Each structure stands twice: as structure tokens, then as C-alpha cells.
Amino acid sequence: MKAFTLIELLVVVAIIGILAAVGVTTFNGFQLSAKKSATIQQWKTVSKFIQYQLKMCDIDGGTLQLSPTRSINCDVVNNKAGVNSVADAFMNHFLDQNLENPYDKNQPAIVRTGSGGGVNGRIRLDETDCPGNPSKKRLSVWVAVHDNSFGQRGDGRDVVIFSMDSWC
């Protein structure tokens, strides 16, 4: 009779189990890396879009159409309410574009909030003080990922700040 012994079968099963465990661990690392990259790319895209639109406001003034259904008032006063209204328009524009959170499809990819954040894969729009004049505001665009080595803060978050020429 030509057959495998029980020991031989157990050795093969153990080897397959070890290979599967290594493969799953490696695959999870690849997934997290891809989610981080996708989040950072979305943040850069959102940031460049906002920077471009605010520059167009500086040039043209008035009302700027972001899409057929969204616009921003370029003549808005740069107080908390005014900057938040601009942030809301940008947020809704990107939600209309079906921007997705790479880490969790059940979490929004972009929010406008006065605090909080730090949710992996989320872009957060917020108002922040102008240097030397806390009553004047400008727009900040935050991002958070799982990797604490990302960002200037060393906590997995980073921010870029934008303002129209007339704001600060």
C-alpha cells in the first residue's frame, strides 16, 4: 500500500497553516498601506481643489460655482460663520462626488466640524484663527491615517491651511 502516514499529513497541514498565517499578516499590512495612500491622495486632491477655488475667488469675487448644485460666496466675511459656510459648500461638493473613506465605508470621507476628528480616512474641514487676529478665520483641511509617522504632528494627522487674500 502506498499512502501517507498520519505524521506526514500533520506536517503538511502545519506548514500550510504557517504559510497562511504569514500570508494573512502580510496581506493586512498591504491593505493598511493602500488605505493610507488612498486617504492621503484624497486629501491632496481636496486640498488642491480648495486652494484653486479660493484663488479663483480672489480673482473673480462674487459667487463661484463648484458644480451645477454647489457654489460659494467669494465675498463672505471671514468670521467663524462665514468660513464655515464656505467649508460646508466644499464638504457637500465632495459628498456629492461620492468621496469614500478608504478605512471604513460606513464613516464619511469628509466632514466639517469644530473639533474632534482623528478618524482614520477622514478629511476634516474646519476654521482656524488668522495669525495675530483670533476674530478673523481661515480654512483648515485636516486628514488622519493609522500611521503615527505620517504628518508633522507625529500622530497620524496633518493639516493644510487656506485663506483668500482678503481674509487674513
Average pLDDT over every residue of 16-34: 82
134 assigned to some structural domain: yes
Residue 117 has pLDDT above 70, yes or no: no
pLDDT at 1 over 70: no
Residue closest to 25 by CA, chosen among 17, 14, 35: 17
Do the domain assignments include residue 62?
Answer: yes
Which tops the pLDDT comparison, 102 or 114?
A: 102
Identify the domain containing residue 99 by its residue range.
6-162
Q: How far is CA 93 from CA 64, 84, 123, 161, in A?
A: 12, 14, 13, 19
Q: Is residue 21, in this structure, part of any structural domain at all?
A: yes
pLDDT band of residue 116 (cuts 50, 70, 90) is low
Cβ contact 121:142 at 8 Å: no
Asked if pLDDT for residue 163 goes beyond 80, the answer is yes
Residue 162, beta-bridge partner list: 139
In a domain, 104, yes or no: yes
| Residue 87 placed within a domain | yes
| For range 128-147, the mean pLDDT | 93
- The pLDDT of 58-63, averaged and rounded, is 92
Q: Is the pLDDT reported for residue 121 higher than 80?
A: yes
**Burial of 165 per CB tally in 10 Å (0-12, 13-18, 19+):** exposed
pLDDT band at 160; cut points 50, 70, 90: very high
Q: Tell me the average pLDDT across 117-142.
A: 91
Indicate the number of domains in the chain. 1
85 within 8 A of 109, measured Cβ to Cβ: no
Please check the confidence at residue 114 and state whether its pLDDT lies above 70.
no
Asked, for residue 1, whether it belongs to a domain, the answer is no
| pLDDT of 41 over the 90 cut | yes
H helix or E strand, kind and range, residue 73: strand 71-73
Q: Across the chain, what does the average pLDDT equal?
A: 90
Is pLDDT at 26 greater than 90 in this prediction? no
